Amino acid sequence: MTEKKQAGYNKKMQKNDTRERQECPYHKKCGGCEYSGIPYEEQLQKKEKRVAKLLREFGKVEPIVGMSYPYYYRNKVHAVYAQKKNGEVICGTYEKDSHRVVDIESCLLENKGSTAIIRDIRGLLRSFKIKPYNEDTGYGLLRHVLVRHAHATGEVMVVLVLASPVMPSKNNFVKALRKMHPEITTVVLNINGRNTSMVLGEQEKVLYGKGYIVDELMGMRFRISAKSFYQVNPIQTKHLYQGAISLADLSGKERVLDAYCGTGTIGMIASRDAKEVVGVELNRDAVRDAVTNAKTNQVKNICFVCQDATEYICKAAANKEHFDVVLMDPPRAGSTKEFVDAVISLEPDRVVYVSCNPETLARDLKWFCRAYRVETIRPYDMFPLTGHVETVVLLSHKKAI
Ligand code: SAH
């Protein structure tokens, strides 16, 4: 972007800042914020309507919980780097449904500090003669950069995703980057040599700092590694977790299952009001973080199992284990019929389903309705400016009238 263009762009962004409706100049190409340009109130209504349409048959939908300032909320920012024919290095995101890179100067969704780090890395590449990786030719080194920001502590992790393990002058590169951004607390190299749409590869090497960041949420400290899942909107996460845990209505006596638990966040916060919590999660790194998190926070009534949630619960059902409450927060694909059947046979009094996809939620609720009644449906806007919507549903067992 030329200086003149940049000045015009900044002016436009500043003007937008004061208005209720913000429009991103890249949104048509990038596709990251499909609700760009739509007033926030209208975005919320659209989401509420979508949830109501999909879940009408299960009950009344409560008003959506929105944000007071719905911009720059994403704590995890990812960019891809590419070199244009004229040699200029650009960075941003892939154009919708393609592998062409859209050069992005600023983004309404992303934490501003993280975007600045991504832009400054672009400048450093030139000085360090590091070439972006070219997917077609297989030439070049840097594929992606991931920046994770801990909202409460301010810790920042930069993950440099390379196509091969050798990075020339890596220590000087980190030094130069930290000079520009002293807020960076850790830098990790991740090697992804495969031809894949996955951003991160298996192999990792810590270049600087601890190799993870620590965030604080609702009075607890959580360790986050490059690969573990952590909610991307820190402000809304607090509301979402508070809502989900209060619907679970814990008295201190319950045995709780936190299925699809990630780094154990929901379960650990719930453990304060429960007798015992079991967290189940498939991702090894997330489970490792969860175990450490429990130790750091001195939570003694929680344990974690690294297993497929369906496999775990089917075995628990076969062993006639007892759970009073099941909290579940599956990925977009939702849960499985086997999981729901096993929950039904375990007969917990309440199930709190946290969903990031109302379509799969509707499917799973149909299965639950054989034995459970839907008590509450509450959408949360975790992803302003996008079409995504999160929903929390409370189910209670039909036998408990
Ligand atoms: N409750 C957590 C994580 C929710 S995201 C939080 O709020 O942070 C969904 C999680 O489900 C991810 O951590 C993902 O790794 C995990 N997951 C995906 N498929 C799974 C499966 N089949 N069994 C168990 N966990 C799974």
Average pLDDT over residues 201-223: 95
Cβ(240)–Cβ(390) below 8 Å: yes
The answer regarding whether domain 81-217 maps to CATH 3.30.420.40 reads no
Residue with tokens 């780094």: 263
Q: Is 341 annotated as a binding residue?
A: no
Reported in sequence order, the residue ranges of 52-202 that DSSP labels E, i.e. its strands, are 76-83, 89-94, 101-103, 142-149, 156-162, 184-191
Average pLDDT over residues 178-185: 98
Q: Is 289 annotated as a binding residue?
A: no
Q: Mean pLDDT in the chain?
A: 92
Average pLDDT over residues 220-239: 94
Question: Closest ligand 1 atom, CA of 229?
Answer: 13
Cβ(111)–Cβ(149) below 8 Å: yes
pLDDT at 187: 98
Q: What is the DSSP letter of 399?
A: T
For a mutational test of ligand 1's pocket, the pick from 148, 215, 229, i.e. the residue with the most ligand atoms closer than 8 A to its C-beta, is 229
Quote the CA–CA distance of 161 and 143 in Å, as a whole number. 6
Q: For 74-112, how does the pLDDT look when each residue is reduced to its tens digit (9 = 90+)?
A: 999 999 999 999 999 999 998 877 888 999 888 999 999
CATH number of 58-66+233-400: 3.40.50.150
Q: For 136-153, how does the pLDDT look when each residue is reduced to its tens digit (9 = 90+)?
A: 899 999 999 999 999 999
pLDDT at 14: 43
Q: What is the DSSP letter of 74?
A: B
> Has residue 1 got a pLDDT over 60?
no
**How sure is the predictor about 352, in pLDDT bands with cuts at 50, 70 and 90?**
very high
Q: For 114-134, how does the pLDDT look when each residue is reduced to its tens digit (9 = 90+)?
A: 999 999 999 999 999 999 999
Residue 304, helix vs strand vs coil: strand
Number of residues in the chain: 401
**How sure is the predictor about 195, in pLDDT bands with cuts at 50, 70 and 90?**
confident
The reply to whether 81-217 shares the fold of 58-66+233-400 is no
Nearest-CA residue for atom 10 of ligand 1: 260
Instruction: Write down the catalytic residue from 24, 30, 107, 356.
Output: 356
**262 alpha carbon – ligand 1 mean position (Å):** 5
Quote the CA–CA distance of 70 and 92 in Å, as a whole number. 21
pLDDT at 243: 98
CA dist 46 → 212, 239, 385 (Å): 37, 20, 11
Percentage of the chain lying above the pLDDT 90 cut: 82
> Does residue 229 have its Cβ closer than 6 Å to ligand 1?
yes
For a mutational test of ligand 1's pocket, the pick from 224, 260, 391, i.e. the residue with the most ligand atoms closer than 8 A to its C-beta, is 260
* Catalytic residue status for 356: yes
- Of the two residues 28 and 85, the one the predictor is more confident about is 85
Q: Which of 108, 98, 81, 83 has its CA nearest to residue 27?
A: 108
- Of the two residues 8 and 292, the one the predictor is more confident about is 292
Beta bridge partners of 304: 279
Q: Which of 108, 135, 136 has its CA nearest to residue 199?
A: 135
Q: Is 260 annotated as a binding residue?
A: yes
Q: Where are the domains of the chain?
A: 58-66+233-400, 81-217
Q: Which of 204, 219, 356, 353 has its CA nearest to residue 288?
A: 204
Residue 48, helix vs strand vs coil: helix
Average pLDDT over residues 216-222: 95
Q: Is 329 annotated as a binding residue?
A: yes
Question: Closest ligand 1 atom, CA of 258?
Answer: 1
For residue 91, count other CB atoms closer than 10 A to its CB: 23
pTM: 0.90
**How sure is the predictor about 323, in pLDDT bands with cuts at 50, 70 and 90?**
very high
- One-letter amino acid for residue 147 of the chain: V
**19 alpha carbon – ligand 1 mean position (Å):** 37
